[in-house]
Amino acid sequence: MDLYNESQKRKLEFTTRRHFLKQCTTGLGGIALSSLMGPQQLFATNTNPSFDPKNVPHFLPKAKRVIYLHMAGAPSQLELFDYKPELKKLHDLDCPKSLLEGKRFAFIQGTPKMLGPQFDFKQYGQSGTYISDALPHFSQIVDDVAIVKSMHTDEFNHAPAQLLLQTGSARSGRPSMGAWVTYGLGSENENLPGYMVLVSGGKNPSAGKNAWGSGFLPSEYQGVQCRNSGDPILYVSNPNGMSRDIRRKSLKAINDINESQYKEFNDDETLSRIAQYEMAFKMQISVPEVMDVSKEPDYIKDMYGAKHGEASFANNCLLARRLVEQGVRFVQLYHWGWDMHGDSKATSLDQGLKTKSEEVDQPMTALVKDLKQRGLLDDTLIVWGGEFGRTPMRENRGGVVMPYYGRDHHTEAYTIWMAGGGIKGGISYGETDEIGYYGIKDKVHIHDLQATILNQLGINHEKFTYNFQGRDFRLTDVHGRVIKDLIV
């Protein structure tokens, strides 16, 4: 919505609704979250099509919201999902030239050795899906998820690959998926940002904040990062010593003055300013509430493995559920530290990958189960995966043997999983060759994944464009096709 359209909308509201801060003459401290988070839908688009230049959704959506669990650093598919007994047999043999010629790798040089899977696999569920021993919890929910084994990408370095995945382009400057989605669909809750980002693992992803930036879309669509310490959202708290009561009085004065200004200048954008300050006040109440997981019952916290005060993936999964419950449109999680090159214990497949898997296995499983038991899984799409895969060869950086088992970056094939939001459960989609080097059936490119995610939200990725620098841009650039076989 541009500023003009927004101001028009605010004008309508102004004439039809009494002022929020005026109604609340007794202070707002006691007002429960629920009443603030009622079905206001101020920002939700399509209540008045004349305000919506994009005409989305293009068709009836299956998913209303997305939780994207991005495993930054790129987990090894060969240790977690893509079971390759043949690769075990080839362990420690020289990699054939045919797999190396004409290929560019980040670190592999000369002739590396093949590297067998470092974990055992078993079959689970009615679907008989193979899952590695590294994911004991996840193996219980295989019938609820679709595992895509034939993902492939164009980029073999983290930052560009993460950008390609999150923004559709390997170069900085494009809007992220969440920005596109909130630009198209708005938020279901005006008191919370429509696109929120939670980071764990100790570091931001390689692509930095560009991974949740708004690119050339207006900045209001950028992901809002929830912080692990201090203000949960930057500047949401009043300065020390300024109580909510004082803030309310101050905001009332601001809005009274702005009304007087409106009378003088007759500029509808002043009404937008008034609404902006009201929303800021509501956000000051709703953000700390929704971010406070301490009120969750113990059995729920245990289910996720969430512990108060930790900046963990478990806490973030629980927060993600709370956020989508409150109508946040797109929740993006990053869990850093999957880059297992084998140059240290922490980046080894047998040790480092095990630790990382333990960090995510229980919480991601709990998230699926929890959404399911609340009836939210049907219209919430969950996507889990990294930015690329790992080579079936052992990394030999600089042509020498690494101290631990590790794999280099691999673009040709890797695995992600999806659940809910109209995605089939209990299926595996796509196949790789017997060593997991190439996808050989039903290959899915990053742009296909993006097209499919948008499709579940009711958006035709080819029609969903934004003009910048004189050119119509799409999330999927000029590519992408919806993977129909994944859809219920």
344 binds other proteins (CB under 8 A): no
Residue 4 vs 59, nearer CB to other proteins: 4
Residue type, 40: Q
- DSSP 8-state symbol, 419: E
169 binds other proteins (CB under 8 A): no
DSSP 308-344: TT---HHHHHHHHHHHHHTT-SEEEEEEE-----SSS
Among 12, 31, 93, 253, binds other proteins (CB under 8 A): 253
Distance of CA 4 to the CA centre of its chain: 30
Among 21, 66, 69, 236, binds other proteins (CB under 8 A): 236
Among 24, 31, 246, 488, binds other proteins (CB under 8 A): 246
283 binds other proteins (CB under 8 A): yes
Q: Are 65 and 58 in contact (CB under 8 A)?
A: no
Neighbouring C-alpha atoms within 13 Å toward the C-beta of 187: 26
Residue 47 vs 465, nearer CB to other proteins: 465
The binding track of 396-425 with respect to other proteins, each residue x by CB under 8 A or -, is: -------------x----------------
**β-pairing verdict for 431-432 and 439-441:** antiparallel
Among 18, 97, 104, 295, binds other proteins (CB under 8 A): 104
Listed residue (380, 362, 244) closest to 323, CA to CA = 380
Listed residue (236, 223, 214, 226) closest to 194, CA to CA = 223
Least separation in angstroms between residue 243's CB and other proteins is 6
Least separation in angstroms between residue 74's CB and other proteins is 12
Least separation in angstroms between residue 406's CB and other proteins is 13
Which residue stretch of 57-65, 178-186, 269-277, 443-451 sits at the interface with other proteins (rule: CB under 8 A)? Answer: 269-277
Among 49, 239, 297, 375, binds other proteins (CB under 8 A): 239
Radius of gyration of the chain (CA): 24
Least separation in angstroms between residue 451's CB and other proteins is 19
Angle, nearest 10°, between helix axes 3-16 and 268-291? 90
Residue 285 vs 382, nearer CB to other proteins: 285
Residues between 24 and 83 that touch other proteins (CB under 8 A): none
CA dihedral 467, 2, 287, 262 (to 10 degrees): 160
Residue type, 488: V
Among 30, 39, 49, 470, binds other proteins (CB under 8 A): 470
**Total residues belonging to the chain:** 488
CA distance 110 to 26: 74
Residue 128 vs 208, nearer CB to other proteins: 208
Residues between 113 and 152 that touch other proteins (CB under 8 A): none
300 binds other proteins (CB under 8 A): no
CA distance 8 to 3: 9
Residue 346 vs 487, nearer CB to other proteins: 346
Question: Measured over all CA atoms, what is the biggest interatomic distance in the chain, rounded to whole angstroms?
Answer: 81
CB count in 10 Å sphere of residue 433? 16
Residue 115 vs 377, nearer CB to other proteins: 115
Among 150, 210, 391, 428, binds other proteins (CB under 8 A): 210
Among 50, 219, 298, 375, binds other proteins (CB under 8 A): 219
Q: Are 335 and 359 in contact (CB under 8 A)?
A: yes
Residue 322 vs 479, nearer CB to other proteins: 479
Residue 191 vs 362, nearer CB to other proteins: 191
Alpha helices in 45-106 (DSSP H): 77-80, 85-89
